[in-house]
Amino acid sequence: MAFSAFATTTQAVQAPKRTSRVALLLLLPGILYLALFFLVPLVALVITSLQAPAEFGDIGQFQNAFRWENYATVIGQYGAQILRSFFYAVLATVFALLFSYPLAYFIGVKARKWPLLQNLMLVMVIAPFFISFLLRTLAWKQLLSDESFVVTGLKALSLLAPDAHITGTPVAVVFGLTYNFIPFMTLPLYAALERLDTRYLEAGSDLYSTPFTTFRTVTVPLSMPGIVSGVLLTFIPAAGDYVNASREFLGGTGTTMIGNVIESNFLVSLNYPAAASLSIILMAVILVLVTAYVRRSGTEDLL
């Protein structure tokens, strides 16, 4: 499964030790690809993040340096946006998990008796992918706009204050993030639950365990690989997302996330070192959080 590389450190089976030229040859394209499109850009990014403004240069002209204070500057300047990014990403991940688990459970376990329904529901989970993610997010902007039936309806029911909006608020951004990443949560969960042996649930029930306790002590631990994959596939892109939070889509001035800051620094203010150091901070924080999460969820114990 995706990201199992994080989890299987203890379980890695020793491959037979036999260095063969063919194996190296087959590995070469992959190694070259990684070197060219991952390592080189990463090094370039680190170099850029340490650059200083060029002397007597124009805006957007920088020279190589070791300006470590770039990092301190962006953290001081954008600390709120960084925190907000991770807060929104955590919220979106939790909501996506709460929404996807029952859905995946239904498709993967309850609907086993009806393969047609199972396939139909899977198609419905995947179908939104066929339409551009930007278009779908724009459509939600329309659906949640001030004149939309959603907002007017909520106002008519006095669930929303007369002068309130949905677009441009954190609610809309978190909603958009949740919506856009639900398939990434549902599919790994489905893959894990589809393999769930219901005989374990019968055994749990036979051993004096109520349905809820069986769910807590048997179903959830057995679907942990799916939960971990889904959380990672949702949390990582959501933390760096800049579409949902941008003002052209669902966000507003108060919802700027780290992705939007990087975008504006790079494209608008042409402050490449700031954009680069923000990117590296984002990457580092995600790496730390994800490692801690995988360690804690203990998926390496699963089979």
Question: Rule CB under 8 A: which residues touch another protein?
Answer: 197, 199-200, 202-210, 213, 217-218, 221-222, 224, 301-303
Strands (E), the chain: 52-53, 62-63
CB of 94 to another protein, least distance (A): 23
Instruction: Please list, in sequence order, all residues whose beta carbon lies within 8 angstroms of the beta carbon of residue 186, skipping any fewer than 6 positions away.
Output: 100, 103, 104, 125, 230
263 vs 300, beta carbon nearer another protein: 300
CB of 299 to another protein, least distance (A): 10
50 vs 218, beta carbon nearer another protein: 218
23 vs 207, beta carbon nearer another protein: 207
CB of 3 to another protein, least distance (A): 19
Neighbours of 193 (CB within 10 A): 21
First to last CA, the chain: 13
Q: Which residue has the tokens 């909603």?
A: 175
CB of 268 to another protein, least distance (A): 50
Report strand pairing: 62-63 vs 52-53.
antiparallel
146 vs 197, beta carbon nearer another protein: 197
Instruction: Please list, in sequence order, all residues whose beta carbon lies within 8 angstroms of the beta carbon of residue 236, skipping any fewer than 6 positions away.
Output: 286, 290
- Decide: residue 283, CB within 10 A, 0-12 exposed, 13-18 middle, 19+ buried: middle
57 vs 298, beta carbon nearer another protein: 298
CB of 210 to another protein, least distance (A): 6
Separation of alpha carbons 96 and 221, rounded Å: 19
CB of 217 to another protein, least distance (A): 8
Answer positive or negative: Cα dihedral of 113, 116, 119, 122.
negative
Give the bridge partners for 126, in sequence order: none
Tokens for 43, please give them.
């090094």
21 vs 199, beta carbon nearer another protein: 199
